[in-house]
Amino acid sequence: MSSFDFEAADWLSRQLVQLAAKIEWFAWLRDQQQKKMLGTSDSDNWQGSRRQQFDDKFSGEQAALGQLAQAARQLKSNVDTAIGEAHAEAQRKRHH
């Protein structure tokens, strides 16, 4: 097996945590701004058919962002598993 780059794996694992956090922060930002600046769909801030279209797009995008944050966490967990396996492999090699 070719040598596993532990440094790169470790770095990626940590960036994936960051990625999940940043995606969630971005989604939170949009949510907060939407409530504060746009209000409900019938408030004076913004009404009409374009508002409806925005609301639909917005909720779809927020859901997708949430899923991506999850995916980032899952990926981190996969990377961590790979790191663990690579360590174990390296251990086995040393004891032969």
Residues that bind other proteins (CB under 8 A): 1-5, 8-9, 11-12, 15-16, 18-19, 22-23, 26, 29-30, 33-34, 37-38, 44-51, 54, 57-58, 61, 64-65, 68, 71-72, 75, 78-79, 82
Nearer to other proteins, 78 or 88 (CB): 78
Q: How far is CA 90 from the centre of its chain?
A: 31
Q: Give min distance, CB of 49 to other proteins, in A.
A: 5
Q: Give min distance, CB of 57 to other proteins, in A.
A: 5
**Pairwise CA distance, residues 14 & 43, whole Å:** 42
**Pairwise CA distance, residues 84 & 78, whole Å:** 10
The closest alpha carbon to 13, from 67, 88, 80, belongs to 80
**Pairwise CA distance, residues 77 & 13, whole Å:** 8
Q: Give min distance, CB of 91 to other proteins, in A.
A: 17
